[in-house]
Structures are given as structure tokens and as C-alpha cells.
Amino acid sequence: MADRLEVRKTYKLFIGGAFPRSESGRSYEVTDTKGRFLANAAHASRKDARDAVTAARKAFGGWSGATAYNRGQVLYRVAEVMEGRRAQFVAEVAAAEGVQNRRAEAVVDAAIDRWVWYAGWTDKLAQVLGSANPVAGPFFNFSTPEPTGVVAVLAPQDSALLGLVSVLAPVLVAGNTAVVLSSYARPLPAVTLSEVLATSDVPGGVVNILTGAAAEVGPWLASHLDVNAIDLSGVDDPDLARELEKAAADNVKRVRRPASEDWNADPGMSRLRAWVETKTVWHPIGV
Amino acid sequence: MQPTPFEYAPAPESRAVVDIASSYGLYIDGAFVDGTGRRFKTVNPATEEVLAEVAEASGGDVDRAVKAARHAYNRVWSKTSGRDRGKYLFRIARILQERAREFAVLETLDNGKPIKESRDVDIPLAAAHFFYHAGWADKLSYAGFGSDPKPLGVAAQVIPWNFPLLMLAWKIAPALAAGNTVVLKPAETTPLTALLFAEVCEQADLPPGVVNIVTGAGATGQALVEHADVDKVAFTGSTEVGKAIARAVAGTRKRLTLELGGKAANVIFDDAPIDQAVEGIVRGIFFNQGHVCCAGSRLLVQETVADEVVERLKRRLTTLRLGDPMDKNTDIGAINSPEQLERIRTLTGIGEEEGATRWSAPCELPDRGYWFAPTLFTDVSQAHRIARDEIFGPVLSVLTFRTPDEAIAKANNTPYGLSAGVWTEKGSRILRMANAVRAGVVWANTFNHFDPASPFGGYKESGFGREGGRHGLAAYLDVA
């Protein structure tokens, strides 16, 4: 008697809280490290990237305007839902990264723990990065961190879940909204993360996840005038990274260049600092 | 009735306090050297008198300066303790104070700004920046960037002509405090106080090569920021050049901070203290002839008080004294260069063509030099060039609004985000506006104040990175 015939999946994009197909109608086959078919993923186009930026911009006011406590609650809830999908993540990481189950479990646990770590940062950031400034005059003067805006994230190609979480969560902490392009060859943990986000309390548009090629979608995100910052962590080709950084200069985007990263190391505050602006307010002191 | 200015007897500051050489070289590795490039003249924009000839550093000169900075970094500065770096900076600060009058006169001669501004703002603040950062040099481990934050190495710094010595201080003081060495290029039209600062470095016995000054124009700046052995690029200037620099450093290891243009909204609500607001508006846009990146160049006035504010503003502008920058009573000095004057004329001409109503203060302009009367435009729409482009001159565009939401929308309707002003007696409204405006500095019931302890820098296309305060140290430490 044959095993049950599995239901094969064709995944879609995650834009504005919904799951549309690519406007281009394209999809591509995703395989495990041994070349066995896993699923079909949507192959994002320029139009999809633009739609995602529109959704991210629309969501920015609400997400950045939410209280830090509320953002922390929402992000912690994401970790709770991830925990519930732990087995699925483990299977996907094992298939995507070609590692044994035990190793995949450690990766998934680290990813969930990292999300929890960042969730707890929302209501500490302003105290740690802010200041009251002792100016030489009768003024009250203080500085606070504010989100940069819409951040495009080209997620790591190798570390499909832990790398993804490590670059996405810090973007969200301060109140930025994100357009993420997942690993091209290993998109399934990102797809599952989008299902997690859709079924937790993250407002639609705060995170938009595209699957596709950095060389195709990256230039449209890098040159988009309504994107305020771009993370090039997932760009392995130095020539492409340079071209994207050049394109990003058109509207003075904040750029994080690709670098070799140890996703298991303490992330520190570097990525939290990368996506905030410092606002300084002056007011006279008098009677 | 329009008021007439009081008649004042001339009160010129003496220029005898400063010796200007007829010719200047480059300051590289602790010595003044002749450049290998061409030479250019720097003029007093108030009189068109040639002040001196200055070397235009060639690519080879820039290379020598970077090598000197690298050598000084490797051999000396990276091994100098924070305590001693701080003591050098304290020395520099003290010398700037001691020679303040000399610097103020030289700044006013080379730049055209009123002596009362160079004397009371530029030079004291420059000294204050060195004092402030001197104290940081041996306290970096307490700045919130980890227990032992490292410098970056050699910093290439390119600064503008609007606050020549002050911008030098904003660049050099934090760089040295954090342990970097620098090659700085002052603006083409205002090189003299940077060259005088080189003397201060000698006076302070600063080790050779820690500070190098290369004068020149765009090509010199380009050679500097594109030099392969530079670890950090810091630029203050136009958004256009800032974007070109961002492209030039793309794909390199160089860290970058940019402080670029602005088109700040200064928002006046109907409950604002109008007399104070009018003073703040004047300070916001006519300080330093409007050659200020964070100038309050877009006035947003609540409709119910718009006529009153504009009327009082015109009366106040009529009393501003334009003329000899060396006169201690002068409020408005000379435009820094004929090129800048041309840009101001072009944009104000476009303002009239596009249908805005122009009013200029009825003041007499001197026969020689580059001058532009304080000007304001009413009937300005958001689509007008004078409401969108940075004019960088004494020109104010007046727009109106009805509700706070409309004020916020209009204030943020710009690719820039450097500064903003808000005037109201209502505390909750100040805080709401301060939250909602996408700008790096918000002045509430005041405008155009600066302090070394106060982080300064922009959102959006006004650049990134901060100068001043604990935050400003990050630009010169390996903490990204």
C-alpha cells in the first residue's frame, strides 16, 4: 500500500497583511540541499516590490505611533506563535540548510529566543539611546530615538530563519515598517514566518515578505524614493551590493552593507541603532 | 507707518588684530608646504578685495596629507592616551578663546558675516566644541558604545563656507577625541580660519599629521573622499554633493556621515507670543544671511494671525541694518560669493514668475560686494520652487494653515528633514508637533540655537549621523 500522496504547496507573497500571488504570475521551484522538491514559491517582481513599499508606508504611522509597550506586546506574541510552529520551522530549516534535526532545533530555538530578546527592547530603546542634554543656556533639551521609516531588508541567503529573524526584528523594535526579500534558495522559513505574522497581532503592512531574487528586486527597492533605509545583508555579490548602495544614494537612504555575520553571537545594539534617527527638541526655560 | 532705523555712528571692529599673509600653502604633517596644484584667490565678499592667495591641493597633495594622517595615526595618535588627547583638545580650546577676536575678524573678512555673529556665536561655539569633546577623550568607555570603543583611523572631512571655523570644530573635535586623525578640506571661498587653526595646532604642540588642512575646491574634496586609505568620510554641504559622495564611497569600507540641506518649517500657531515669534522668525531665516542649512525658510502661519504676523515681520525687517560686516551694529552681512548671490536671485525670480508676492526690506545695498536685501514672499503655494528648494539666502516663504494636522502635513511635505520650529503657548501642542515633525532638531518657542552637548543632524535627505553630544561620538567610533 502506497504512502499517502502529499498535498504540494505553492506559496504566495505577504503584502499588506494579505497573501497575493506575484503580479508577474511567476513562481519557482524550491528544493532541499539535495535537490528534492519542497514547494513552489512566488517569484516577486518590480510591481510586487512597489506594492509592498506602499503597504509598508501606509502601516508606518500606526506602528510608529503605537506605544513602545504595545509594540513589545505585539512582538512577544509573534514569538508565542513561532513557538507553536516550532516543529514546522525545524523541518523547514533542516531541509533548507541541510542540517540534522538536532541542529535545526537549536537554530529554531535561537531564532525564537532572539525574537523575544528584541521584543523586550521596544520600551528600553528611548532610555538607552536617548538623553537629556546639558546645553549652556536656559533651555530644556532632550534627544530621543525615532524610527527611520520604511526599511527594505535583503535577508541573508544562508541562514534562512535565524538570519532572517536577526535582521527583521531590530527593524520593527523602534517602529519602522519593513519590506523583506527572503533568501532566494531557502525561502520557506520566511514564508512560514509570514503565516506566523498574519496570525499574530502585527498590523497588516508592518512586515511585508517577498520571495525572489536580490539581483532582480534589490535595485527597485534600493532606488525607491519612499524607502528610507536598506539592509544589504543578503547580497552576496559585492558588485551588486555596490550598485545597490549607489542607487540608495538617490534619496540618501541609510545603508547597512553586507558583512560576515555570526548569527549565534550576541547581536548587541548595532542593528537597533542602524534604523533610528535621533530627534533633539529645545524649549526655553523661563517663567 | 513704517519705522525707520536709528541712525548709528559707524562702529567698525579693527582688522589690525589679524595678519593676513599674501599667500598660504597647505598644512600637511605639521608644516605649511607649497601645493603642487594651481593657486586661487579668496576675497572679502563685502568689498570684493582679494584677501590672499591659497593653494588648490592636487591629488598628489591630498595623497601626501592622507599618508601623513595615516602615519600619525599608526605611530602616535592611536598610542596617545585618552587623557593626553583630551589635554591637547583642552589646549586648543583655550587658544581659540585667547585668539577669539583674531578669529572673529578673520572669519568676518573671509565670509562676510556680521562681526557680532562671528564674535558672539561662531568662535565661542567653536571653542566650546573643543572643550566639550576634550572631556570625552578619556571617558569613551562610558559613552554607551561598549567598554573599549575603537577609533576608525583616518577621517576625511569636507566642510561648507557658512560657518567655516565652527564646522571645522564640529568635525575635528569629536574625531580627535575619539582617537582618529584627520584631513580636512575647508570650503573654497572661506579657507582662512582653517589655515589659522593650523597655527593653533602648532601652538598646542599637537603631534604632526594628526590634523592636516588641504585647501581647494570640488576636485580636491573629491580626491580626498575617494582616497583609498581613508576610513571615514564626513561631509557637511549640499544634498547634491552629499549624494555624489554617498555614491563614491559605495562598496568601500568607508564609514559615512552626511549633514546636508534643509527646508525647515517654522510653524506659528495663533496662540503664540507674537512678538517673540517674530524675533524667532528673524533669527530663523535672517541669521547669517540665511546661509544656514537648518534655517526656518518656510514660515507656516495659522490663518487667523497670518496678516498680523506678516505685518509685524515687515516692520521688524525694516529695522534690520544691512551693510559693513565689520560694523558691530550690522545685522545682515554680505552674501558669501557671486555664485550664491546668483542662485538667490534666480530662485527669487522664479518665485515671482510662479505668482508669489515679493516684498524686500527697503535698505540701501552697498556699491561693492555681494548683497541681497531681506526678502519675504507671501501667496506661496507648496508647489512653488521657493517653497521646495533650499535657497540658502535671506529669503522667507510664507504659507498658511488652519489646523494642526494641516500644519504637520505641510511641514513634512519636503524631502528634507533637518530642523523645524513651533510657536505656541500650549504645552501639549508643542509635544504633539515635536513628535509629528520628521526633523532632527525641533526648536519650540525658539530657533537656531546650537550647543556642543546637543546632537544635530537630519532625517531623510538632510543626511544621517549626528554631530554633538554623546550621539555625535558614534560617527568617529567603530560601533556600527
Beta carbons of B455 and A252 less than 8 Å apart: no
Q: pLDDT tens across B206-241, in order?
A: 999 999 999 999 999 999 999 999 999 999 999 999
- Is residue B322 domain-shared with residue B188, that is, in the same domain? no
Does A159 map to a domain? yes
Question: What average pLDDT does this structure show over A38-65?
Answer: 98
Cell match 501667496: residue?
B379
- DSSP 3-state assignment of B147? coil
Predicted confidence (pLDDT) at residue A1 exceeds the cutoff of 60: no
Confidence of residue B8 (pLDDT cuts 50, 70, 90): confident
* Calpha distance B295→A200 (Å, rounded): 45
- DSSP 3-state assignment of B204? coil
Would you call B211 exposed, middle or buried from its count of C-beta atoms within 10 A (0-12, 13-18, 19+)?
A: buried
Beta carbons of B474 and A273 less than 8 Å apart: yes
Number of domains in chain A: 1
- DSSP 3-state assignment of A14? strand
Q: Which residues of B touch A245 (CB under 8 A)?
A: 246-247, 250-251
- Is residue B81 domain-shared with residue B165, that is, in the same domain? yes
Residue in B with minimal Cα distance to A283:
B444
Beta carbons of B243 and A252 less than 8 Å apart: yes
**A275-279, B8-12, B150-154, B311-315, range with the lowest pLDDT:** B8-12
Beta carbons of A277 and B459 less than 8 Å apart: yes
The C-alpha cell at A104 is: 535545526
Residue in B with minimal Cα distance to A245:
B250
Cell match 523586550: residue?
A120
* Calpha distance A275→A231 (Å, rounded): 10
User: Average per-residue pLDDT in chain A?
Assistant: 97
CA distances from B108 to A95, A203, B52, B55 (A): 70, 55, 14, 21
* Calpha distance B73→B76 (Å, rounded): 6
Residue from A257, A283, A285, A287 to probe the interface with B (highest B Cβ count within 10 Å) = A283
Helix axes B164-178, B82-98, angle to 10 degrees: 160
Number of domains in chain B: 2
- Is residue B242 domain-shared with residue B330, that is, in the same domain? no
Residue from A239, A245, A281 to probe the interface with B (highest B Cβ count within 10 Å) = A281
Q: pLDDT tens across B33-67, in order?
A: 999 999 999 999 999 999 999 999 999 999 999 99
Q: Which residues of A touch B462 (CB under 8 A)?
A: 252
Does A2 map to a domain? no
Predicted confidence (pLDDT) at residue B178 exceeds the cutoff of 70: yes
Q: pLDDT tens across B69-107, in order?
A: 999 999 999 999 999 999 999 999 999 999 999 999 999
Question: What average pLDDT does this structure show over A257-285?
Answer: 97
User: Average per-residue pLDDT in chain B?
Assistant: 97
- For residue B454, give the nearest of A135, A241, A254 by CB distance: A135
Does B9 map to a domain? no
Tell me the CATH number at B330: 3.40.309.10
- Is residue B432 domain-shared with residue B466, that is, in the same domain? no
Distance from CA of B254 to the nearest CA of A (A): 11
Question: What average pLDDT does this structure show over B340-353?
Answer: 98
* Calpha distance A198→B76 (Å, rounded): 57
Residue B108 has what pLDDT?
A: 98
Spatial CA neighbour of A203 closest among A117, A107, A74, A111: A74
Sign of CA dihedral B227, B231, B234, B240: positive
Residue B273 contacts A where some CB pair is shorter than 8 Å:
no
Start-to-end CA distance of chain A, whole Å, equals 89
Confidence of residue B2 (pLDDT cuts 50, 70, 90): low
Q: pLDDT tens across A175-190, in order?
A: 999 999 999 999 999 9
Distance from CA of B247 to the nearest CA of A (A): 4
The C-alpha cell at B415 is: 524631502
Predicted confidence (pLDDT) at residue A148 exceeds the cutoff of 90: yes
- Is residue B270 domain-shared with residue B407, that is, in the same domain? yes
Does B428 map to a domain? yes
* Calpha distance B77→A29 (Å, rounded): 56
- Is residue B159 domain-shared with residue B235, that is, in the same domain? yes
Tell me the CATH number at A193: 3.40.605.10
Q: Which helix (DSSP H) or strand (DSSP E) does residue B203 occupy?
A: helix B192-203
Range of the domain at A118: 27-284
Spatial CA neighbour of A203 closest among A172, A226, A164, A160: A172
Catalytic status, residue B259:
yes
CA distances from B204 to B87, B184, B210 (A): 10, 18, 12
Helix runs in B393-439, H state only? 404-411, 427-436
Q: Which residues of A touch B144 (CB under 8 A)?
A: 128-129
What's at B468, amino acid-wise?
G
Residue A124 contacts B where some CB pair is shorter than 8 Å:
no
Would you call B274 exposed, middle or buried from its count of C-beta atoms within 10 A (0-12, 13-18, 19+)?
A: middle
- DSSP 3-state assignment of A27? strand
Does A18 map to a domain? no
Question: What average pLDDT does this structure show over B408-434?
Answer: 98
Residue B480 contacts A where some CB pair is shorter than 8 Å:
yes
Predicted confidence (pLDDT) at residue A174 exceeds the cutoff of 60: yes
More confident residue, B8 or B287: B287
Does A15 map to a domain? no
Beta carbons of A242 and B464 less than 8 Å apart: no
- Is residue B469 domain-shared with residue B440, that is, in the same domain? no
The answer to whether the beta carbons of residues B140 and B243 sit under 8 Å apart is: no
- DSSP 3-state assignment of B327? strand
Does A31 map to a domain? yes
The answer to whether the beta carbons of residues B170 and B468 sit under 8 Å apart is: yes
Predicted confidence (pLDDT) at residue A120 exceeds the cutoff of 60: yes
Cβ pairs A/B, distance under 8 A:
117
Predicted confidence (pLDDT) at residue B6 exceeds the cutoff of 80: no
* Calpha distance B75→B70 (Å, rounded): 8
Residue from A226, A278, A285, A287 to probe the interface with B (highest B Cβ count within 10 Å) = A278
ipTM of this model? 0.96
- Is residue B38 domain-shared with residue B163, that is, in the same domain? yes
- DSSP 3-state assignment of B391? coil
* Calpha distance B58→A187 (Å, rounded): 51
What's at B250, amino acid-wise?
A
Spatial CA neighbour of B40 closest among B148, B140, B186: B186
Residue A144 contacts B where some CB pair is shorter than 8 Å:
no
Question: What average pLDDT does this structure show over B128-133?
Answer: 98
* Calpha distance B305→B308 (Å, rounded): 5
Q: Are strands B31-33 and B26-28 parallel, antiparallel or unpaired?
A: antiparallel
What's at B385, amino acid-wise?
R
Question: What average pLDDT does this structure show over B451-464?
Answer: 98
The answer to whether the beta carbons of residues B191 and B54 sit under 8 Å apart is: yes
* Calpha distance B443→B445 (Å, rounded): 6
Distance from CA of B251 to the nearest CA of A (A): 4
The answer to whether the beta carbons of residues A120 and A220 sit under 8 Å apart is: no
Spatial CA neighbour of B122 closest among B92, B161, B163: B163
Catalytic status, residue B293:
yes
Question: What average pLDDT does this structure show over A83-89?
Answer: 98
Spatial CA neighbour of A119 closest among A200, A182, A53, A52: A200
Beta-bridge mates of residue A21: none
Predicted confidence (pLDDT) at residue B5 exceeds the cutoff of 80: no
* Calpha distance B100→B108 (Å, rounded): 12
Residue A128 contacts B where some CB pair is shorter than 8 Å:
yes
Range of the domain at B40: 23-260+459-476
Question: What average pLDDT does this structure show over B248-276?
Answer: 97
The answer to whether the beta carbons of residues A175 and A207 sit under 8 Å apart is: no
Helix runs in chain A, H state only? 46-65, 68-84, 86-97, 101-119, 125-129, 162-173, 188-198, 214-223, 238-248, 270-274
Predicted confidence (pLDDT) at residue B3 exceeds the cutoff of 90: no
Residue A18 contacts B where some CB pair is shorter than 8 Å:
no
Beta-bridge mates of residue B267: B300, B422
Would you call A103 exposed, middle or buried from its count of C-beta atoms within 10 A (0-12, 13-18, 19+)?
A: middle
- Is residue B227 domain-shared with residue B284, that is, in the same domain? no
Q: Which residues of A touch B409 (CB under 8 A)?
A: none
The answer to whether the beta carbons of residues A164 and A64 sit under 8 Å apart is: no
Tell me the CATH number at B157: 3.40.605.10
Residue A142 has what pLDDT?
A: 98
Residue B4 has what pLDDT?
A: 66
Q: Which of B13, B102, B201, B293 is catalytic?
A: B293
Cell match 546636508: residue?
B260
Predicted confidence (pLDDT) at residue B26 exceeds the cutoff of 90: yes
Residue B1 has what pLDDT?
A: 53
Beta carbons of A246 and B247 less than 8 Å apart: yes
Confidence of residue B262 (pLDDT cuts 50, 70, 90): very high
Q: What percent of chain A shows pLDDT beyond 70?
A: 99
Residue from A242, A280, A283 to probe the interface with B (highest B Cβ count within 10 Å) = A280
The interface residues of chain B toward chain A in range 377-436, judged by CB-CB distance below 8 A, are: 415, 430, 434
How many CA atoms are closer than 13 Å to the CA of B17, on its beta-carbon side?
A: 17
Does B15 map to a domain? no
